[in-house]
Amino acid sequence: MKASIEQISPVKKRLTVEVEAEEVDRKIEEAYKELKKRAKVDGFRPGKVPRNILQRHFGDQVTQDVKRGLLSETLPQAFEETKIFPVAMPVIESETLKVGEGFKYVALMEVRPEFELKDYMGLEVDKELVSVKEEAVNSQIEEIRRVNSRLKPLEEDRGIRNDDCAILEYEAFEGGKPIEGMKAQNFMIRVGSGQFHPEFEKGLQGFKAGESVEITVDYAADDPNAGLAGKKVLFKVKVTDVKVMETPELNDDFAKSLGADFNDLETLKNRIREDMKAREEKRVDRELKKRLLDKVGAKVSVDLPETLVESEMRYAVETVKQNLLRMGSSLEKSGLTEEKVREDFRVASERRVKDLLILGEIAKQNDLSLTETELDEGFADLAKGIGQDPKVVRQYYEAKDLLEGFRDRLLEEKTLNYLVKGAKIREVEAAQIKDAPQG
């Protein structure tokens, strides 16, 4: 076998592989021997079908099978021989196989770019001082009170106002015709919450249970709901009931009702403060690392393999789809297309690929690798976050062929931590931070 490389760009190569005729003929002979054992052709006993009959019936299939086998066998050998390793499966541009002449194919592939990375240790970078304001703690407590509120019937003789929960029957019309899918019964809305269009919620105020109202809503041309954007919609609404939220009193008894861990209100506040501080520390750490990577990235130009950028954009599209699905929506309902999402995420995808290439080079230069102990710790942290046994989580990742991806992510984090340890960090208030992280 002979392999040669043609450079098209710093990240794109053309690989030409030639397999000797003797090897190809041997593979073909082997293929026909195996085929003869199992081939079924009318008029011939199993194992007794002549070669020329096999060629007539199965020649194309044998050729394709031999091609696939040779590709599978020789591609890894060609990578080792040329010391060129692709970032994704190569695209076969052409292939020719003839008995007595050998097998030749040409593959187009992308590789990791070579670039010079230096002076990345000891960089000066700002880190935000972590602080949790008392207002934030109190706001969180109020949210907990709201979540633990209970609905009760409205006893006052008054109309709907903000924060009331109205139970409705409604149907929507455009130009006098009903809009498909815009009809509901026993629909509950917390007025003023932004759950529905503001004009709709405002139009409910003042009406009592048993009353009917017609509300006209003018949807903006850029409304997120693409099906209603730019339309004037008439809602015919009947208020069937009105309830109010009863919020628990803020005292020690309320704290105790949330669990045995809370003996009094002060204990609850301290736990909330600790949790908020832990979240803030994680956010500040993420932003510090982004800021530091920005500084490293600004010092070097890197050619990006489009294959890797495409992979990141595909991941972004799937993430958006899954998030919309969880909200009961879809790309179409949200007025989006896959192409639009891809392009919206292109810059972020390019940034992600550049960061990964830089981190890979730093790890290579400093002989950083992931130990089995660190891998076990990674699974322990992951398992703790989802309430599972680490062994079960690892078995799942191995079964789904996700282990290497998880290992790569842990090595990325280890490399980032190495970079942070070598940096000159200045802790300042948020308003004093220079060079806000990009993306």
In a domain, 124, yes or no: no
CATH at residue 93: 3.30.70.1050
Q: Which two tokens stand for residue 306?
A: 């489009």
CB 174 within 8 A of CB 232: yes
In a domain, 92, yes or no: yes
Q: 270-280 burial, b if ≥16 CB within 10 A, otherwise e? A: eebbeebeeeb
Q: Are residues 177 and 274 in the same domain?
A: no
CB 159 within 8 A of CB 203: no
In a domain, 120, yes or no: no
Q: Is the per-residue pLDDT at 271 higher than 90?
A: yes
Q: Is the per-residue pLDDT at 435 higher than 70?
A: no
- Give the confidence band of 329 by pLDDT, cuts at 50, 70, 90: confident
Q: Are residues 91 and 42 in the same domain?
A: yes
Q: Are residues 286 and 412 in the same domain?
A: yes
- Give the confidence band of 418 by pLDDT, cuts at 50, 70, 90: very high
The domain boundary, picked from 224, 246, 268, lies at 246
The domain boundary, picked from 246, 271, 303, lies at 246
The per-residue pLDDT for 436 is: 55
Q: Is the four-CA dihedral 52, 54, 57, 60 of positive or negative sign? A: negative
The H-or-E segment that residue 300 falls in is none
State how beta strands 424-428 and 124-128 pair. Answer: parallel
- Give the confidence band of 48 by pLDDT, cuts at 50, 70, 90: confident
Q: Is the per-residue pLDDT at 38 higher than 90?
A: no
Q: Are residues 209 and 94 in the same domain?
A: no
Q: Are residues 320 and 388 in the same domain?
A: yes
Q: What does R_g of the chain's alpha carbons equal in angstroms?
A: 32
In a domain, 127, yes or no: no
State how beta strands 91-98 and 124-128 pair. Answer: unpaired
Q: Is the per-residue pLDDT at 389 higher than 60?
A: yes
Extract long-range pairs of 172-181: CB within 8 Å, 24+ residues apart: 172/233, 172/234, 172/235, 172/236, 173/233, 173/234, 173/235, 173/236, 174/231, 174/232, 174/233, 174/234, 179/233
Q: Is the per-residue pLDDT at 161 higher than 80?
A: yes
**47-74 mean pLDDT:** 92
In a domain, 137, yes or no: no
Summary mean pLDDT of the chain: 93
Q: Are residues 212 and 292 in the same domain?
A: no
The H-or-E segment that residue 404 falls in is helix 403-421
CB 225 within 8 A of CB 217: no
185 exposure class (CB count in 10 Å sphere: 0-12, 13-18, 19+)? exposed
Q: Is the per-residue pLDDT at 439 higher than 70?
A: no
**41-46 mean pLDDT:** 84
**208-236 mean pLDDT:** 92
Coil vs helix vs strand at 213? strand
Q: Are residues 280 and 426 in the same domain?
A: yes
CATH at residue 159: 3.10.50.40
In a domain, 212, yes or no: yes
Q: Is the per-residue pLDDT at 438 higher than 80?
A: no
CATH at residue 379: 1.10.3120.10
Q: Is the per-residue pLDDT at 327 higher than 60?
A: yes
**368-394 mean pLDDT:** 93
What is the number of structural domains in the chain?
3
The CA–CA distances, whole Å, from 278 to 266, 281, 380 equal 18, 5, 19
The domain boundary, picked from 225, 246, 267, lies at 246
- Give the confidence band of 325 by pLDDT, cuts at 50, 70, 90: confident
Q: Is the per-residue pLDDT at 267 higher than 90?
A: yes
Q: Residue 49 half-sphere exposure, CB side, CA atoms within 13 Å?
A: 21
The CA–CA distances, whole Å, from 428 to 125, 133, 416 equal 10, 16, 21
Please tell me the chain's helix, strand, coil percentages from 3-state DSSP, rounded to the nearest 5.
45, 20, 30
In a domain, 138, yes or no: no
**2-22 mean pLDDT:** 96
Q: Which residues pair with 238 in a beta bridge?
A: 169, 212
Q: Are residues 427 and 310 in the same domain?
A: yes
Q: Are residues 233 and 274 in the same domain?
A: no
In a domain, 176, yes or no: yes
The per-residue pLDDT for 159 is: 95
For 364, the domain range is 256-432
Q: Are residues 325 and 428 in the same domain?
A: yes
State how beta strands 2-9 and 12-19 pair. Answer: antiparallel
Q: From CA 254, how far away is CA 262, in angstroms rounded?
A: 9
Q: Are residues 105 and 197 in the same domain?
A: no
Q: Are residues 277 and 397 in the same domain?
A: yes
